[in-house]
Structure 1
Amino acid sequence: MRTTSVGVFKVATRGPGDVSGLMSMIGSGAIDPASILAILGKTEGNGGVNDFTREYAVAALCTALAPQLGLSPQEVEQRIAFVMSGGTEGVLSPHITVFTRQDILQRPAGLSGKRLSIGMAHTRDFLPEELGRSAQITETAKAVKAAMADAGIADPADVHFVQIKCPLLTSERVEAANARGHKTATTSAYSSMAYSRGASALGVAVALGEIATGVRDEDVLRRYDLFSNVASTSSGIELMYNVVIVLGNSMSSTSEFEIGHAVMSDAIDAAAVLAALESVGLRAGQQTPTGSKLVNIFAKAEASPDGSVRGFRHTMLEDTDISSTRHARAAVGGLIAGLAGTGAVYVSGGAEHQGPAGGGPVAVIAKFSN
């Protein structure tokens, strides 16, 4: 069985194009650029269709890493999985999380338990009319299983977070489908983000056995009783396929890190955040009670589609000035930041089929102390 060592590094950024922190860590030898497998980031954009901070951040990272790897920026983007989530409302702080992976000869004697492992895969390119529909669900499920194998994870129970970057529709893509005699799930670019996120999340649920196969096109964004407890999906304009990153624990890993998760039932579910922290030996506001140290928290957030939270009406869906996803990121981000003791946490908006309606998964990565 393949044995790997996985590293996780959180780096603060001063803006979407700031790569100084990462380059400093590479320069000091803390990070081997050849070992970088994935980079997840929070940028200070609006998180919408026209959020070009995501593309800017990826371009800056690829340009900086290209000479380090002896590749072109385009080749860097093909080699490393980049997932940029726009929107740092409230106390959320812009940052990137760098995941590295290196093969080692064997697991050291005396190392006990499963450790953090990471795997990556991607789907084929989708046609515009396939987004938000069963084709995207089926292909995503295949990619999740491939990423699990890449991570050395056999048991779905050991998967604690699945991050996916998925496409969205543009007017040009809609017109291309129409020209071939096909209709897309929606003609709205903004709505297509939700369709793509939702179908991708359902693909995770199918792959992990959280729901049965045979999900229909009409179930997407309608059957909210169908969801994954570990999926986190983000839509972007820059691709037409799904990038899948599986994070879990495996005996094949010798990492200094571990990951755990819980599921928030709604946007104010502090108990779930506490449970996620406790799953890796942490407590609220106290990062080292059992010798572990918080690295980062990853969570999904959305305005409850029924317009209420625990019986009280919310207005997030009725605000024409501010998108509901921005409200949700700010609310959930503030809750998690208060419990974690830091605003540098990864909270992504739009949680369709990612946890129960109005809620979402929350995963915590901690580092064992020496």
Structure 2
Amino acid sequence: MKCSVVKIPAGAPHDMTGLQSAIEGGLLKPGEVVAVLGKTEGNGCVNDFTRGYAVMALKRFFAAAGQEETADISYVMSGGTEGVLSPHFTVISRSGSPEPGGAGTGTGGQALAIGTARTRDFRPEELGRLVQVDEVADAVARAVFDAGITSAADVHFVQIKCPLLTGEQLFEAHGRGTSLVTEDTYKSMGYSRGASALGAAVALGEVERFVLREEDICVNWDLYSSVASTSAGSELSCCEVIVFGNSAAAEGPYHIDHAVMQDAIDGTALQSLMDRHSGDELVQVLAKAEADPDGMVRGRRHIMLDDSDINHTRHARAVVGGVLAYVGGDPMIYVSGGGEHQGPKGGGPVAAVFRRK
């Protein structure tokens, strides 16, 4: 198996000219694309339809480009490019299959390995609850297997796109007399992200399933995954899972590593990765941004959680995006907001994909 990561700038959510140029230039083969991570320029909230717009445009593009199984591609669109974050698509390709006992050419005899999986569609009353945790845990385990990764220690980033509650779903559930985890559509994004992150933590052995209670979700911040990044949207009803790691069953020049930001201005996390792989080219940065629920950063008060005009997830994306863009020297990076159970409270995972020179 050989995997690659290519960044494509986007002039708008439907702008496919960069993808077309990459294919014509031989950087991409449509039939090998397994996932696309996008940063679109909407508000990243419930009514951010730039995510669905981008997915629709991508599906049409790949269908026209000869990729017959467009439904097999995982599309993860993260809304919100506040501050210096630059709208773009991160295109992930994979050719061949994992070969146990193979000789990887990345770090430590390993190379970048990618696996994907999907959960079933969720009912409104299942979001933000243990049933979502369990379904996501199963999907993450399947994606790890799909990547040919044999140890949880070799998993460095798990990107999950999850559903949220809409007004229409609230009305439908009320009609059935069903209780929901929240009546607030915006808060449902956090519950869905949190349950998905805990699912990844369970699958990777970071949290023991038997200790997890439903009331822990979005309450007990001591429970988290160090590699999960989850993003909620109204454009899907299932969870899309993409696992990034290294495996000796893969080959090629790409490999990945991760660290954990302890707070929103912890640029040393990314710097440590760059120092560790100083001989390699930094290809892409994948990170989670969160506003500390205590309302503090290094002993200083912040107002992200109290701003009624700009949601705290948008503040956090702008801050973390600026910090990591400075450290890495490129604002075209994937930074997603809303870090419930994704790293320690106020912090979050950051992963870096490198290419051997």
Fold conserved (TM > 0.5)?
yes
SS at match of 2:284: strand
Q: 1:240 to 1:147 in 2, by over 3 A?
A: same
Counterpart of 2:309, as a letter, is: D
**Paired position in structure 1 for 2:64:** 67
2:223 to 216, 223, 226: 226
| Corresponding residue for residue 37 of structure 1 | 34
Q: Deviations along 1:295-322, whole A, 9 cap, x unmatched? A: 1101000110011111111011111111
Equivalent position amino acid for 2:80 in 1: G
Give the TM-score taking structure 2 as reference length: 0.96
Q: 1:309 aligns with which of 293, 297, 304?
A: 297
Distance 2:110 2:98 in 1: 17
Distance 1:63 1:209 in 2: 38
Residue pairs, 1:252-263, within 5 angstroms: 252-263=249-260
How far apart, CA to CA, are the structure 1 residues paired with 2:261 and 2:282?
A: 19
Q: How far apart in 1 are the matches of 2:237 and 2:98?
A: 37
* Counterpart code for 1:116: L
Deviations 1:115-139 (A, max 9, x none): 1000000111111101000000001
TM-score, with normalisation over the residues of structure 1? 0.92
Percent of paired sites with the same residue: 54
Tell me by how many angstroms 1:110 deviates: 8.7
Structure 2 unaligned residues grouped into runs of 5+ = none
Residue 320 (1) aligns with residue 308 (2) = yes
Give the stretch that moved more between structures: 96-105 or 261-270: 96-105
- State the 1:69 CA deviation: 2.4
AA at the equivalent of 1:307? G
- Quote the Cα distance in structure 2 between the aligned partners of 1:167 and 1:220: 16
Moved over 6 A (4+): 104-110
CA deviations on 1:282-337 (whole Å, 9 max, x unpaired) are: 3xxxxxxx1x1111101000110011111111011111111111111111111001
Picking from 270, 284, 287, the partner of 2:267 is 270
Query: What is aligned with 1:140?
Result: 136
How many residues in Structure 1 have an aligned counterpart in Structure 2?
Answer: 353
Distance 1:109 1:141, change over 3 A: closer
When residues 171 and 36 of structure 1 are mapped into structure 2, their CA distance, relative to the original with a 3 A threshold, is same
The correspondence for 1:113, drawn from 109, 112, 130, is 109
Closer, same or farther: CA 169–104 of 1 in aligned 2, 3 Å = closer
Q: Which one-letter code corresponds to 2:87 in the other structure?
A: P
Query: 1:58 Cα deviation (Å)?
Result: 1.1
1:257–1:365 CA contact under 8 A, matched in 2: yes
SS at match of 2:24: helix
1:203 to 177, 199, 202: 199
Give yes or no for contact 1:276–1:362 (8 Å, CA) kept in 2: no
TM superposition shift of 1:176: 2.1
Alignment of 1:1-370 (within 5 A): 4-69=1-66, 71=68, 76=70, 78-103=71-96, 111=105, 113-214=109-210, 215-279=212-276, 281-282=277-278, 290=279, 292-369=280-357
Shift of 1:64: 1.1
Change (3 A) 1:343 1:130: same
